[in-house]
Structure 1
């Protein structure tokens, strides 16, 4: 449940041609060196296979974290007028969130001003944290199921780590949103969608929606049904049913899911309102909003079933599938899934999912299909009981959807990221060094064309919900 951002690449930049400092003579050259290292890391990351990219994310995070203190210190020196501008600073980044007019990669866009560099470099850090969250989710797929004597649940621990990474990304996007509203851009040209206030606000909303769903996921037993379906050799479902949440927790989960749906819907609207933004991100936000709303319906169904209202519970399940766009017909039928789910199952059989690398097990629809499968399993079970024992009437979905609760936030919405800066000891060292004191060795490192794409070892769709043949938590 995290979007798979494509990391941008950038052209070389030499800060010493644009800035000079008498108080810290080596700061521009040291910043140039750290940026060249980051640029080289991004180019090498792009050329890796998908499996290698996932393993390389910690190194990438380290490179960005080493560069940003120099960049933000340079920005602070400019603000305090300890830096003398020599020429107008320009930088060039690939706009990965902007609309593509051709099937090839989006072009690099050059703009003036240090703020353009700061926004792209800082957003890249947030993208990397989101990709790191996907790594934790992929590892959670393959974690072994906890035993009765196991004091720790590896899957839950990994999901918590993924949630923390998403929250860090949210705080970075909130910082960029606040910065973009208070700082004047150095260029009079229109900015790409990647560095607009509306996109930052949308990404912040999307991250909060994702983190909330992950918090629900770690206590949600029902997605394990999907994992059991993928493992034909597992017989665990015969003797170990999922632990059903209590009524109070079901209602709490429903409110958390509604909050996630609201935030994801806000993100989709923000992306749609941003000129030049790509359709891929908007589609993912819309899928997450549908998934979260359908989950809220499912938890309402669990609460109704716990009260003995099996007809109402079935109605909530049908309403959830209607939200997902998977229901054929109206309220009178039994809420059968459309052909989309059958096609998905057929595609999974053809791909032989047990042989697909774990990166390909991360879906691109924010868990929409998986939630539909869970709803379908519960409906099949409860309809069998209702048709043979209870005979409760199933209410209309329109009357139930009107009763959905309001959302409830779980995490603080004002948690903003603090830009890193060089320590006093590091600044003292730069103040004593002469400019260009061996710091520019990396400025031209790996200056070849970076449009070489990674070999298609496996598909890695953007964002989504873990899909697994494991009998673990999922």
Structure 2
């Protein structure tokens, strides 16, 4: 339910060769030192295994958070003309969202101007917050079964933490989007897709879509019901019956899912509009839009089943499967062909789950496979009831899809991130200290492009819905 961004790496930079300040003489050298630490942390992170990367995110977040106040203070000093430019500043970053033209890793892209550095460094901060959300989701998967209120609250707390991380990333992308539209850029040089307005708008929309689905996840018992049915070691069914949403909650959750689908669709359009963007992120946005819309169909079906309209409930399930691109047969054979193909897909995915460690159980398709499993279980249950008791007609999926409700936002869309600045005491120290001069030569000593990601210890797909055989909210 969160995209697994690849973090960029960068070349060394010495701000003292490009900027000088009479009011804060140590600011360029201090910014250079903090940036060198961030660069080293990013390179070390990329060489780690996927499991080690999860554990290293707090350290990486700390390195970025320590560097950005110096960077934004330097930018503010340039704006106020308290810093004198010496030579034109240049920096290079690896563009991780750009289109791949060769199978090897994308090269670093060098551009002029401090704004290029600010955009990439701040974007990296948003990526880290998104990856932190994935760690909280993975922890929620590993949480013990909710045998008591404490276990249940643990899962909810972890999901809330993941949601907060995603909303923080959304506010950062919104800030970068606003900055890119107001900050004057050099029109003579083209920017990589990673730092374009279209990508920022797309990532902001994607984060809001992800946060909304996380909020829905807390009140959605059906993924955990399916997980229980496919977990051979679970005994939760003996002592705890799942809570099924009431009619009002089902309709509310359907509207939230439709909002998430709309935002994910906007994200896909934004990625497509960014020149040179890769297909991986767009495919993920498309998958999330389909997953969210299929969830809305399922909640509509739950509401219909609660009113005794089992035939309509089955129709909503079929509509959800149609949205996901699954095979849906005609009414004559009651979908046997479609269910047979779905069972093969489900068996294949379950075999994959058994081989993948818990740390890597985050699907690459934004939850499409898991939602398909839930829809299959509901269709099987409701068809059995309808074939033996109700004998209701199943309406066409086209007529039901036309009745989907409009989306409803859950979180404010105008919350923007505030760039950090150095405090008065920190600025006072920089104003009294002398610049380091040549003592920073060590920073550019190692400019090797050796930040190649090692072979993963297990499959680490680029984001998605957590896949687990454990219980809880999954």
TM-score, length of structure 2 as denominator length: 0.95
Cα offset, 1:348, TM superposition? 5.1
User: Is contact 2:231–2:469 with CA below 8 Å preserved after alignment?
Assistant: yes
> 1:36–1:103: structure 2 CA closer, same or farther, 3 Å change rule?
same
Is the 2:329–2:337 Cα contact (8 Å) retained in structure 1?
A: no
CA distance in 1, matches of 2:363, 2:184: 39
After superposition, the Cα gap between the structure-2 partners of 1:12 and 1:347, relative to the gap in structure 1 and judged at 3 Å, is farther
Distance 1:403 1:442 in 2: 65
| Mapped contact 2:143–2:151 kept (Cα < 8 A) | no
Name the SS for the 1:245 alignment partner: coil
Determine the C-alpha separation between the residues in 2 that align with 1:148 and 1:463.
30
**How far is 1:450 from its partner?**
2.5
Distance in 2 (alpha carbons) for counterparts of 1:370 and 1:84: 57
Unaligned runs of at least 5 residues, structure 2: none
SS at match of 1:337: helix
* Deviation of the 1:187 alpha carbon: 6.0
The change in CA–CA distance for 1:33 and 1:150 in structure 2 (over 3 A counts) is closer
Which deviates the most, 89-98 or 342-351?
A: 342-351
- The answer on whether the counterparts of 2:64 and 2:121 sit within 8 Å (CA) in structure 1 is yes
Q: CA deviation at 1:149?
A: 5.1
Q: Tell me which moved more, 344-353 or 107-116.
A: 344-353
Give the 3-state SS of the residue equivalent to 1:81 in structure 2.
coil
1:366/1:346 Cα in 2 relative to 1: closer, same or farther (>3 Å)? closer
CA gap 1:269/1:352 in 2 versus in 1, 3 angstroms: closer
Match of 1:248 in 2: 248
CA shift for structure 1 position 236: 3.4
Offset of residue 454 of structure 1: 1.9
Between Structure 1 and Structure 2, how many residues are aligned? Answer: 474
* Deviation at residue 235 of structure 1 after TM alignment: 4.2
CA pair 330-182 structure 1, distance change in 2 beyond 3 A: farther
CA 149–11 in structure 1, closer or farther in 2 if over 3 Å, else same: closer
Counterparts in 2 of 1:288 and 1:331: CA distance versus 1, 3 Å: farther
| C-alpha separation in 2, matches of 1:133 and 1:360 | 14
Q: Shift of residue 315 of structure 1?
A: 0.6
Partners of 2:130 and 2:373 in 1: how far apart?
26
Match of residue 273 from structure 2: 273
Partners of 2:465 and 2:340 in 1: CA distance: 17
Please state how far the C-alpha of 1:473 moved relative to its aligned partner.
2.5
Q: Is the 8 A contact 1:36 1:445 kept in 2?
A: no
1:380-437, Cα deviation, whole Å (9 max, x unpaired):
0011011101111111111100000000000000000000000000000000000117
Q: 1:115 corresponds to which residue?
A: 115
1:72-127 CA-partner distances (Å, limit 9, x unpaired): 00000000000100000000000000000011111111000000000000000000
More displaced 10-residue stretch of structure 1: 346-355 or 362-371: 346-355
Distance 1:4 1:92, change over 3 A: same
Q: CA RMSD in A?
A: 2.0
The SS at the match of 1:13 is coil
Moved over 3 A (4+): 148-152, 235-241, 328-355, 444-448
CA apart distance, 1:242 = 2.0
2:25 corresponds to which residue?
A: 25
Shift of 1:442: 5.8
Paired residues of 2:202 and 2:266 also in contact (CA < 8 A): yes
Partner deviation per Cα, 1:162-188 (whole Å, 9 max, x = no partner): 000000000000000000000012462
> In the TM superposition, what whole-angstrom CA distance separates every residue of 1:207-253 from its partner, at most 9, and x where no partner exists?
00000000000110001133224422334346644211111110000
Contact (CA 8 Å) 1:145, 1:473: kept in 2 or not? Answer: no
Displacement of 1:439 in angstroms is 6.7
CA contact (8 A) 1:138 1:466 kept: yes
> 1:237, 1:439 → 2: CA distance?
66
The answer to whether the 8 A contact 2:8-2:93 is kept is yes
After superposition, give the CA deviation of every residue in 1:116-159 in whole Å (9 maximum; x if it has no partner).
Answer: 00000000000000000000111111101222453752111111
Provide closer, same or farther for how the CA distance between residues 332 and 401 of structure 1 changes in structure 2, counting only shifts above 3 A.
Answer: farther
Please list the CA deviations of residues 316-366 of structure 1 after superposition, one character each: whole Å capped at 9, or x if unmatched: 011000100012334655345759975875775785634532232100000
SS of the residue 2:91 aligns to = strand
Contact kept? 2:89, 2:112, Cα under 8 Å:
yes
Instruction: Mark the runs of 5 or more structure 1 residues left unpaired by the alignment.
Output: none
Distance 1:187 1:114, change over 3 A: farther
More helix by share: 2
Q: Which residue number corresponds to residue 37 of structure 1? A: 37
Query: Does the CA-based 8 Å contact 2:327-2:341 persist in structure 1?
Result: no
